[in-house]
Structures are given as structure tokens and as C-alpha cells.
Amino acid sequence: MNITIVLDALVSLLWLITIGLIVLAIVRASRAKPVKGLSATILVVAILASVLTSISAGLVFIQPEERGVVISAVAPGGYREAALQPGLNWIIPFMESVVVYPISRQTYTMSIAPNEGQLQGDDSITARTADGQEVLIDSSVIYAVDPTQVVQVHIDWQDRYTKDLVRPLARGAIRDAVSQFGVQEVYSSKRGELREMIAKEMTTKMEINGIVLVDFILRNITFSPEFAASVEQKQIAEQLAQQARFVVEQRKQEAEQARQVAQGQADAVVINAKGAAQARLLQAQAESDALNLFAVALKDNPDLLNYSFINKIGSGVSTIFLPNDVPYLLPLPTSSAPTSPTLPDVLPTPYPTPLPAPTAIP
């Protein structure tokens, strides 16, 4: 509990009692009643109220988030060099007074929105970029009074440091920094660098004046309608170009997939062809080996050729027709059939020209 508040209330009560007793004494005196005892009471209460009033005027309680600047009629220069610290402090009653300054963090916002900043209406900062484009900057400055320089702040600025120091410094620093960047850098690649430049300049200038910059927030950047329209068109064009690149990439993937499928099919054809060729080679090798074996067997047994021929003809064939100019390659077997056979209604299919006998391979 703040003891100064209790003491002020007690002083006020004592003065009310004193006034009440004085009124009562006047009423009693007007009625010719004795007021001797009442006069002594009034004097005691009045002295007590005066003493407590003096004490109350000399006691100052400073909150933890505050510092007090003592304005003194007896100190050199008219003020105490050291600010009052948090807690209960004593000053010379009626000779000194205290001006309290907050040292907690404060925020000053400058915005294009009517009700966001400390000032009503559009309070954004108009600045021009290095390439001549006009931009509107919304920002917030978070700052605090340096506890060690409260007295100097009071001497230099009193309670005007917000509107006469923080605001002008912020607006000037923003304009100076924006003028060093192109418009595209302001809203894209160099925005962080822009904020750092503004904060650095403000930190230096505010520290000289006893104010600590806690943070600078670059809230929003608004461009002219013409430039905003061009940016939107550029973004649309970039999106279309990106979509076109995606389509091209998709087509490339489809073409690569088709190429791989075709390559797989071609590889399959090659593999099948190699397999067929290998099979034919094996078959030819087998046939060659069989012919060699047959030639060796035929060399030892010449009648084997007739035997093979008869087996190929089949058991149901009794007549063979050959052209007139084709000699017999094989001795024909004897037959008991009549010398002049009757021709059938349908002639049998003539036997093809016999192949020459294979030559035996030694």
C-alpha cells in the first residue's frame, strides 16, 4: 500500500475536523456558550493537521516503472542531479516538487489506418525510392526513457519527447533510408536491410537524447495504384510462366517415359531375336549332327536310304507318279500289283522331286 495516499487521506480528514470544530465554536459563541475547551481542541487538531500536511508534502512514493525528477528551490541549478528511485523518498516540503517520468516501454504507431496510430487519420510516412517511386510506410517505434538520463530528458524535452523527438526522428530516418533503395528492393529482397538501416540511425540519435530504442517495426508498405497494378501484372505473368514451365517439364517427363517404354520394347525385340537366332543355331547344329550321323550309318548300310524313303511314304501309298524326264534315284521295291492298274477317280498328289542323297561327312 502507498503510505502517501493514506497520509494524504488522514491530513484531509484532520483539516475537515478542524473546520468543523471552528464552525461549532462560532455557533456556540453566537449563543453565548463557553468555547474555551473547544478552542484548545481546535488548536491541537490544527497543529496536527499542519504537521501531517508538511510530512505528506515531503513524502513521495515512486513506482517501480517510474523515476522522479526533483525540482528544487534550494539545489544548484534548480533541480537535483539524481532522479528519485522506486520506493518512498523524502523531499523538502514546499521547497521541492517531483515530476514523475515512466521508464516502461512505450509504443508510437504511424499508420495509414485512421484508428491505429496515436494521431487520427492517415499518419503514414510518404517517401520516395531511389528510382522515384512514391511509397507509404506504416511503422511502430517501441522505446523507453533511459533511467540514467531521466533528469536530462526533463531538461531537454519535458513530456514532449514523444511528439517532438521520437516521431520526427522516425519519419526522417524512414525517408532517408527508403531513398537509398529501389522500389522492388523495398518490398522484396532488401526489406530487412531497410529496417536495419532505419533502426540503426534511430538508435544513435535517440540515445543522444536519453531515449532507448527497443525495436523498430516496419508494419506495411503501400505503393501507388499504378505501381501496384504493374506488380500484380508481373506476378500474374510469373505465375503463367511458372505454369508453362511446369507443363513443359510434364511433357519432358512424358516423353522420357515414352522413350523408356520404346527402349524397353526395342530391347525386348532384340532379346527375342537373339533367342530365336540362338534357337535356330541350335536347331541347325542338331540337324547337322543328325545328318552326319545318318551319313555315317548310310556308308555302312546303303539300304538304309530305301528304308527311310519307304517310312516317309507311309503305309497307305501304293502308287507314285514321277515326271517322264526324272530318273529313279532309288531302286524301287517289287510289287504284286497288276500291270495295268485302273486309274482312280482322283489322282493322288504327285510326290515331289526327290532330293539328292546327302554326301557322307568323313
Per-residue pLDDT tens for 318-347? Answer: 666 666 665 555 555 554 444 444 444 444
Asked if pLDDT for residue 351 goes beyond 70, the answer is: no
Give the three-state DSSP class for 88: strand
**Whether pLDDT at 223 is above 60:** yes
- Spatial distance between the Cα atoms of 43 and 32, rounded to a whole number of angstroms: 20
The pLDDT value given to residue 331 = 56
Does the pLDDT of residue 245 top 70, yes or no? yes
| 8-state DSSP, 34 | -
In Å, how far are 257, 262, 273 from 268, measured between CA atoms?
16, 10, 8
Cell of 298: 548310310
pLDDT range class, residue 355, cuts 50, 70, 90: very low
The fraction of the chain above a pLDDT of 90, given in percent, is 33
Sign of CA dihedral 297, 301, 305, 308: negative
Q: Range with the lowest mean pLDDT among 105-114, 154-163, 332-341? A: 332-341
If you average pLDDT over each of 19-33, 55-69, 107-121, which comes out highest?
Answer: 55-69
Residue 60: how many other CB atoms lie within 10 Å: 19
Amino acid 5: pLDDT: 84
β-pair partners for 90: 59
Separation of alpha carbons 66 and 104, rounded Å: 7
What pLDDT shows up at residue 56?
86
Among the residue ranges 141-155, 164-178, 261-275, the one predicted with the least confidence is 261-275
Q: What are residue 96's DSSP bridge partners?
A: 72
d(CA 128, CA 171): 13
pLDDT in tens, 299-308: 777 766 666 7
Whether 199 shows a pLDDT value over 60: the answer reads yes
**pTM metric for this prediction:** 0.59
List, for residues 45-94, the tens digit of each pLDDT value: 889 988 988 888 889 999 999 999 999 998 888 999 999 999 999 999 98
Report whether 60 contacts 4 (CB < 8 A). Answer: yes
Contacts of 56 (CB under 8 A, 6+ apart): 4, 7, 8, 11
Residue ranges of domains in the chain, CATH in brackets: 3-97 (no CATH), 106-223 (3.30.479.30), 229-335+349-362 (no CATH)
At which residue does the C-alpha cell 504537521 appear?
Answer: 51
Task: Provide CB contacts within 8 A for 94, sequence distance 6+.
Answer: 54, 57
Mean pLDDT calculated for residue range 190-210: 93
